[in-house]
Structure 1
Amino acid sequence: MNRTGLFIALGLALVIGLLFGIYPELDLKLAALFYDPATKSFPIKLDAVAEFARDAAMWIAWAFALPAIVAFVVKLARPHRPMLIPGRAAIFLLVTIILSAGILTNFTFKSYWGRPRPVMVTEFNGPWQFVPWWDPRGACGKNCSFFSGEGATAFWTYAPAALTPPAWRPLAYAAATLFGITTSVLRMAFGGHFFTDVAAAGLVSFLVIWLAYAFIYRWPATRMTDAQVDAGLARLASAWSRLTRRWRPLG
């Protein structure tokens, strides 16, 4: 999570955004690689192995987040016990997955950016007109194409990769990149997303993780310690416990 990675991500965002903004038909050409005109469908959708791989990818990603979720819940239930994992790591993992795979994807863009999925556009036997990535005025009303939630979740594995020992970190980043690309290609093969949907997912996840890492670990003005996080969560849990006791009916 250094400046080189940030510059690469911003450069990719600029190139992909401009290229597919000027030539939006590239999205259709890439999606067509997975489409069968004879059956008028994306045939891999019927493949049980591919369906299992799609589900497994999400299980794997959330498995990396599970220790942070458990640590947070246990800390709230037992405020005076130490965190099960380092406090900064727990906050970093939870904040980044909630933002990248939840709020920014499903509760923001996919709910208000009306871009139809490939299976929904007329070029692939769907009912609606194709729109480029930058146009939110598509006919899709909810759970739309831009940008990919599963792609964002897969690329979120950059977050646990950032917490590996420095000697292992390049390999962890490479594995996270491969995992994100494989999951994204699978979503394209299902007709669920265009290339720009999954590219945006990866770039947004990376930028969220880069900023969160800098905020928690790097920038002196905001840098935290594990002890500070542990103490803050303990105070929060204690305050919540006192508040809920007041709400309980007298017996």
Structure 2
Amino acid sequence: MPLSPHARPLVLCLAAIVVVAAVFALFPGLDPAVSGWTHFPERGGFSYDAEPAAQRLRNLLRGAMNATFALCLVGALMGAAGRRLWAVPGRVYEWALLVFALGPGLIVDVLLKSYWGRARPADVTIFGGEARYSPFWLPTDQCADNCSFVSGEGAGAAASALALAAILRAAPVADRRPALVVIWGLAGLTGAMRVAMGRHFVSDVVLSFLIVAAIGAALRLIPRYRYVRP
């Protein structure tokens, strides 16, 4: 039976998750190897985490995520009142809020980060910490709360990028391509910074992006959100 066009994005996201998981399973040394690129023992470890400029940039990116969520909330409320923010239908903002709630909120922060138990790179013995390194697919007890798998800020960046992309696509914009490049570039920068700072392994970030993308694609199977296009 041919695949429905509406189901294709979800299938592609799930396939990407399987492929990425297989790569990290086949090459278990990939995570610590990438983290090792920014670990400098002579500087005290993951020195970027202590850089004031890096922290200011991180705070700026987090502020952008919060602003995106607030924008979506305002747009959804205006849609419920029969008005449009930037000529964008309210259902686009509703979809974005659901992506935030189910992705960074429920799946990432409430479930995975709280119960998976993967220690952050800076905390494992490989990089001078006390916790045992564990691959992403193995639930463990090396972290009690707010753990490494998956990346909360990575998920937030992905949700923000999807939301802004959907808003831009629905808005009367002549050329949205430059804005999309900036949006996805900042999302990628957010994830890269978390790896460079020793707060997440690269698999935490990549899978957080894909999980949020899969949630967004699954929500588009609901008739109300079928024509939302990130």
Q: Which TM-score band applies after superposition, normalised by the shorter structure?
A: 0.7 to 0.9
How far the C-alpha of 1:207 sits from its partner, in A, is: 1.1
Letter in 1 for 2:92: A
- Whole-Å separation in 2 of the counterparts to 1:57 and 1:128: 29
Letter in 2 for 1:60: A
Structure 1 residues 135 and 29 mapped into 2: Cα distance closer, same or farther (>3 Å)? same
How far the C-alpha of 1:51 sits from its partner, in A, is: 0.4
SS at match of 2:41: coil
Q: CA RMSD in A?
A: 2.6
CA contact (8 A) 1:155 1:176 kept: no
- The number of residue pairs the alignment matches comes to 216
Pick one of 138, 144, 151 that aligns with 2:147.
Answer: 144
The yes-or-no answer on 1:199 pairing with 2:199 is no
- Whole-Å separation in 1 of the counterparts to 2:6 and 2:47: 41
Structure 1 residues 171 and 14 mapped into 2: Cα distance closer, same or farther (>3 Å)? farther
Structure 1 residues 94 and 150 mapped into 2: Cα distance closer, same or farther (>3 Å)? same
What's the CA shift string for 1:60-83, capped at 9, x where partnerless? 1221221232355678xxx8x434
TM-score normalized with structure 2 length: 0.83
User: Considering only CA atoms, is the larger Rg found in Structure 1 or Structure 2?
Assistant: 1
Aligned positions of 1:173-184 closer than 5 A: 173-184=180-191
How far the C-alpha of 1:45 sits from its partner, in A, is: 1.1
Pick one of 63, 80, 84 that aligns with 2:67.
Answer: 63
Letter in 2 for 1:140: C
Pick one of 20, 27, 44 that aligns with 1:23.
Answer: 27
Pick one of 154, 157, 165 that aligns with 1:154.
Answer: 157
CA contact (8 A) 2:114 2:146 kept: yes
After alignment, is 175-184 or 122-131 more displaced? 175-184
How far the C-alpha of 1:214 sits from its partner, in A, is: 3.7
CA contact (8 A) 2:28 2:135 kept: yes
SS at match of 1:165: helix
The yes-or-no answer on 1:217 pairing with 2:225 is yes
Q: Which residue of 1 aligns with 2:113?
A: 110
Unpaired runs of 5+ residues, structure 2, are: none
SS at match of 1:54: helix
Identical-residue share of aligned pairs (%): 29
- Whole-Å separation in 1 of the counterparts to 2:189 and 2:63: 15
CA contact (8 A) 1:105 1:149 kept: yes
How far the C-alpha of 1:168 sits from its partner, in A, is: 4.4
Letter in 2 for 1:200: L
TM-score normalized with structure 1 length: 0.77
Aligned positions of 1:1-251 closer than 5 A: 5-6=9-10, 8-71=12-75, 81-83=81-83, 85=85, 86-156=89-159, 157-165=161-169, 168=175, 171-215=178-222, 216-218=224-226
How far the C-alpha of 1:5 sits from its partner, in A, is: 5.0
